[in-house]
Amino acid sequence: MPDKMLFGAILPQQADWYILGPILGAITVLFFLAMNQPLGASGAYIHTMNYVRRSGDSVTWRVWYFVGIAFGGFVVTQFLQDAKGLRTGFDSFRNAAPLWIMVPALFIGGILIGYGAKLGGGCTSGHGICGTAQRSKSSIAATVTFMTSAIIATGFIRLISGGKL
Amino acid sequence: MNRFSANIIGLAFGAMFGGVLAAGSLHEYDTIHNMLKLEEFYVFGFMGSAVIIATLGLGILESRDTETSFGGTIALQRSDIKANHLKGGAIFGSGWAIAGTCPAPVLVMLTSGVFLSLIVIAGIFIGLSLANKQVAGFGDGEHRLTNQVGKRA
């Protein structure tokens, strides 16, 4: 990787939250202003899955939304961001656990994410941001629940990894 | 609105969302894990400020009965708490903690070049389809599927 990237790095590795958070809030509002709909990621997964399987309800713009998330991430991480010391991915997990533990753990983690999102009707974006911003009781309850559960589960992970994670 | 412009809007908003997540390194395991260890404030600040701005903005749109561009008069969707919200939330949270990522950031993780994220993405699809057999429909916001443009029967 050359020191200077193609367009030069115009974004730091991690821009300040007090800039990005309000931008994300504004994106949520703008999307309501256009489509009168919340922007949830797990919904986009469901529509994409139905689209590929050619069964069930599928709204094509949600499939494009799914593609868009990956595309936006690609542009920023590959072309706009200062990549030095970045791209850690799952490195700290990898350093704390052998591959035969990590791979099944990631798979089970993914299944729990998908199952829980479908059962609970949303994930971090749909409930956590769009739902709470609509002041929906169910979203606020779901958000408090998954935050609490994730913090407790992380405590367990620290415990069983002997503090390595 | 035709289907083409709906798709362009979907793609554009997806790209903006993915771009913002990437700019905050929310696709990195460490970012999420450090938040859940309560060692870093970053993600709490990120989500909290997004919610505050969106709550204010949506509140203003609602109080003025704003006409949206393509979806009629603004209609925020609110629903009461059911057991599934709590069960689903608890399950989702434990998966979030194990994988250190969630449905949108994991897509950014993939395009940032971390191919192990494919395992998580595969798991998410499997988890969604497993629960599909138990729960019909999805979420607060997508009950209105039939009203949406670009629906494929």
| Chain A nearest C-alpha distance from B96 (Å) | 6
Segment A92-98 mean pLDDT? 93
Q: In terms of residue numbers, what domain contains B26?
A: 3-147
Q: How many residues does chain A have?
A: 165
Which residues lie below 8 Å from residue A61, measured CB to CB, with a gap of 6+? A35, B3, B6, B7, B9, B10, B11, B148, B149, B150
Contact A113 B82 (CB under 8 A): no
Residue numbers in B near A63 (CB within 8 A): 10
Are B47 and A14 within 8 A, CB to CB? no
The pLDDT value given to residue B143 = 41
Higher pLDDT, residue B54 or B137: B54
The Cα of B41 is separated from the nearest Cα of chain A by a number of Å equal to: 9
Is B9 part of any domain? yes
CB atoms within 10 A of CB B99: 30
pLDDT confidence of A81, banded at 50, 70, 90? confident
Using pLDDT thresholds of 50, 70 and 90, give the confidence band for residue B87. Answer: very high
Which residues of chain A neighbour B85 with C-beta distances below 8 Å? Answer: 120-121, 138-139, 141-142, 145
- Residue in B36, B70, B120 nearest the CB of A109: B120
- All residues of chain B having their beta carbon less than 8 Å from the beta carbon of residue A129 are 47, 50-51, 54
Q: What ipTM was estimated for this complex?
A: 0.93
CB-nearest to B23 from A20, A103, A128 is A20
Q: What is the pLDDT of residues B35-71, one digit of tens each?
A: 999 999 999 999 999 999 999 999 999 999 999 998 8
Cβ <8 Å between B119 and A153: no
A18 and B24 Cβ atoms separated by less than 8 Å: no
Residue spans of the domains in chain A: they are 1-87, 90-165
Q: Which of A40, A65, A124 sits opposite B141 (nearest CB)?
A: A40
In a domain, B54, yes or no: yes
Q: How confident is the model at residue A87 (pLDDT cuts 50, 70, 90)?
A: low
Counting the structural domains of chain B, the total is: 1
In a domain, B152, yes or no: no
3-state SS record for B56-87? HHHHHHHHCCCECCCCCECCCCCCCCCHHHHH
The residue type found at A53 is: R
Q: Residue A46 and residue B56: Cα distance in Å, rounded?
A: 29
Return the bridge partners of A59, or none: B151
Chain B positions in Cβ-Cβ contact with residue A29 (cut-off 8 Å): 53-54, 57-58, 61
Interchain contact, A103 vs B91, CB within 8 Å: no
Please judge whether B21 and A69 are an interchain contact, meaning their C-beta atoms are less than 8 angstroms apart.
yes
Asked if the Cβ–Cβ distance from B18 to A71 is below 8 Å, we say yes
Mean pLDDT of A73-92: 83
B82: distance to nearest CA of chain A, Å?
7
Q: Residue B152 gets which letter from DSSP?
A: E
Per-residue pLDDT of B14-36, as tens digits, reads 999 999 999 999 999 999 999 99
